[in-house]
Amino acid sequence: MTSPKILSAEYSLSAHRADQCPPAGLPEVAFLGRSNVGKSTLINTLLGRKKLVRTSSHPGCTRALNFFLINQRWYFVDLPGFGYAAVSKELKAGWGRLVLDYLGGRESLAAVVFLQDGRRQPGDEELFLWEFLLEQGRKVIPVLTKADKLKQGERSRQLKLAAGALTPFGVDPADFIWFSAPNLEGKDRLWDRMLACLGEP
């Protein structure tokens, strides 16, 4: 299957508190991952846009739940990154509460695309979030980013290690999607998984 035709993709709002989110109704896909893992680049690539979602080389660029209305049918939600960010501990803690409130309580959240740099292994924060999401009954799509930076042998090794770390959460190696923005690897497969979660034919 190929990616759907994107007729419209527009920034909607930024929520700094859970009660600032749009009224529940349209299904949402959230994008979660460590700071600087490539969330914004991935979203732009999926939508065929270059600058819809702000990208930065500085970790911690996303500081709110950023909602983007796609085809007037779904929302994409760019979540603040976790892990290293050049901000205060107090602000970082506030981001964590905001993200967990959203992931735990948002009724219209159809799926979470969980991004991880394909060159590194899941850390304590990733493992905590995987456990939290599964406890909440969320559908999670694991994506390994920056695929173009690894050779095939390195990919096989990294995939085995990543899958092994997530085995307690029922994640199989076949569940992972390798993604590369420069060559669009994984774009169609990720769209297939997201559309299934959104209930699209």
> How far is CA 187 from each of CA 17, 68, 97, 99, rounded to the nearest angstrom?
31, 18, 30, 25
**What average pLDDT does the segment 110-117 reach?**
97
Q: Which pLDDT score is estimated for 88?
A: 46
Mean of all residue pLDDT scores within the chain: 87
- The residues pairing with 82 across neighbouring beta strands, listed in sequence order, are 34
Given pLDDT bands bounded at 50, 70 and 90, which one contains residue 185? very high
pLDDT at 59 over 80: no
Q: How confident is the model at residue 56 (pLDDT cuts 50, 70, 90)?
A: very low
CA 166 to chain centre: 17
Domain borders along the chain are: 9-198
Residues 6 or more apart whose CB falls under 8 angstroms from that of 144 comprise 116, 117, 118, 158, 159, 162, 176, 177, 178, 179
Whether pLDDT at 1 is above 70: no
Rounded to an integer, the average pLDDT of 31-48 is 91
Output the pLDDT for position 35: 83
Determine the CATH number of domain 9-198: 3.40.50.300
Is residue 163 pLDDT above 70, yes or no?
yes
